[in-house]
A and B are shown apart, each in its own frame.
Chain A
Amino acid sequence: MLEIKDLTVRIAEDGKEILKGVTLSVPDGEVHAIMGPNGSGKSTLAYVIAGRDGYEVTGGDILWNGTSILEMEPDERAAAGVFLAFQYPIEIPGVATMTFLRTALNSLKKKRGQAELTTPDFLRLIRAKAAELGVTDEMLKRPLNVGFSGGEKKRMEVLQMTMLDPSLCVLDETDSGLDIDAIRIVADGANRLRGPGRSMLVITHYQRLLDFIVPDKVHVLAHGRIQKTGGKELALELEKSGYAGFAGKAA
């Protein structure tokens, strides 16, 4: 279970306060959506969960399965099961996608005390998962994310998520820039991971993705706080009324 308790975060560089007391919980096996206007701090929250530098947590806590993860390094969090599908996946020239996947998977296996995969097992796994997500061999041979289209990058994120077997998946705008067919592919990928051992936080600006990944709960983030929590119908309401209704509730 993910528990975010009264989390306050500011940008380390300029001291700007972005999150002003975010509280929410995602029980095991549930999928929660976070919706909010641009600039409301959705990515900030995702990065703070994953452990990116440059954000200063000034109060509150993030617990994963009862333990605070705030002091953990990003790779330790990954070993504990945290996975962030980036809104803007990073291009890494010179690192072949295949090499990267293998290095990441084996690092995680090692940290989790599991046996590393043999080359044939690894290849079998990657081929099967890549095919499900329409990731071609040619993409796997290229340097990581370099020259990938927006849609290819998002499929690569979901492929990584599938390969690395996380227990907490944070998807940051995985739908942005995708056409409807591509959304279906990545949503199917995410849905295959739904299950009792896994919690998901699906961040999106539009309701559209939630037609495919149907959430158990929807939280509205605006002005640094969760303004409203409801069922999946809340997403539809927001689609009609927009976020303007939350303007008055600024801190």
Chain B
Amino acid sequence: MIVTLMKTEAEEALARQFAAVASSLPGTGVAAARRAAAMDRFRETGLPHRRIEEFKYSDVRSALKTAFAPADVQAPIVDANAIEAALGPVASLDADRLVFVDGAFVQSLSSSEIAGVTFRRFATGQPTDDAAFSAIAGANPLLALNEAFASDGAVISVDGARKLAGRLLVILYLHTAREPRRVTTRNLIEVAANARIDLVEVHARIGTAAVQTSTATRLVAGDGAEVAHIKIDREISAATHLSLWDLELGAATVYRGFQLTAGAGFVRNDIVARLPGADAKFDVSGLMLGRGDDHVDTTLVVDHIATGCESRELFKAVLDDRARAVFQGKVIVAPEAQKTDGKQMSQALLLADDVEFYSKPELEIYADDVACGHGATAAELDESMLFYLRSRGIGLAEARSLLIESFALETLEKIENDDIRAVARSVVITWLGADL
């Protein structure tokens, strides 16, 4: 009852907006009830703030001062050339595409048939969507907010006949609004046992206005599946980007996730991974690039439940001006998860005096026969490396960018697909070159 008193302007606005748009959001009555329940849950907690442990370093409540109006789901017609331009290097990828513009699927910009993949929209209004709709579970208030407002998204099934990774599948989220808007999407990706796919999620902006993005993806991989899963966020100075990956990986799966965040205002990337099957190989890594007042947070929980799984995480941050990066990595090893092999590393390169890097690795190990380790470093450019390069005739500016690039690009080695790696590399180089 006193809750109202504590509401921020943004929280008030979110409640008002929900009341106004709820009836026009897609889905059955079941979905509508779930949205309402999600909104109730959100109302109880409000936006997460720094007194909640998981958000200690990323106070969403103070970052999200205002809640922009939800984007108009009647997607505007966008010109294909403008899209290619917004995509930058991503445009050149030879890939199947699923395109969402301002939070709504656009068939005319998307591939009509994708080998070994069935696709449907979240928002068809079919009862079958109900299960998919609420498939992403968790106590995160941002997830509740996402469920309440989600306007569209992809429900993708990769069938067992897809034995080769094949053509890349790119899911594009484009923002075209000329006024500040909020865009909320969620995806469900199911990969059949022994199937393979390389999946790229790209967030980019055509419009001039700031965007508040909320995106949630649940990916379930059957036994023996092989999945590469890459997110490239180049919204560039968007107001906020709130992302959540909920991963569940079967026995002997090989999963390689990567998140590239190239300077996007306030960013919170949550990754929750459960490894309930034995002998899975799990790698999730990323690169956070920040300058100005950018704030980029990656918060990861890996839950080892079965024996013999391997988990690897490498997250790096390049920080200039007053930028901040956060890496929280929790690895839980259940009593049954013997022979778990976990390694985690986070590293920040600090290019200015006023940047901040918070690193919080956590191991919760309940099994006795495991090998788990983690490390974290934060350093300025190495003087001896700079001197070595300069002693060979390389000027200071060029020596600095060589070292910054090499620090950043090392993470991209985690991306096995050459085409995606080249795209990611180009995004990184462009970002670095914009101002050094």
Contacts and interface: CB of A to CB of B under 8 A. Distances in A.
Interface of A: 50-54, 73-75, 77-79, 82-84, 86, 89-90, 92-95, 100, 103-105, 107-108, 111, 143, 160, 164
Interface of B: 383-385, 387-396, 398-399, 402-403, 405-407, 409-410
B391 A95 contact: no
9 contacts: A51-B387, A75-B393, A75-B396, A78-B393, A94-B407, A95-B406, A104-B389, A104-B394, A111-B393
A86 B391 CA distance: 10
Given A51-B391, A111-B393, A164-B392, 8 more contacts: A54-B383, A73-B396, A74-B391, A78-B392, A90-B384, A107-B392, A107-B394, A108-B392
Contacts of A92: 385, 388-389, 403, 406
A115 to B, nearest CB: 15
Given A90-B384, A92-B388, A92-B389, A75 B395 contact: yes
Contacts of A82: 391
Contacts of A75: 390-396, 399
A90 B390 contact: no
A52 B407 contact: no
A74 B396 CA distance: 9
B402 A95 contact: yes
B402 A108 contact: no
A75 B393 CA distance: 4
Given A92-B406, A93-B406, A104 B384 contact: no
Given A94-B410, A95-B406, A53 B393 contact: no
A108 B391 contact: no
Contact of A164 (B384, B387, B393): B393
A94 B409 contact: yes
A92 B393 CA distance: 16
A54 B384 CA distance: 11
A164 B389 CA distance: 13
Nearest to B406: A94
Contacts of A164: 392-393
Nearest to A51: B391
Contact of B393 (A52, A95, A107): A107
Contacts of B405: 94
A104 B393 contact: yes
Q: Quick one: which of A52, A77, A82 has the most chain B CB within 10 A?
A: A52
A114 to B, nearest CB: 12
Contact of A52 (B385, B387, B406): B387
B256 to A, nearest CB: 19
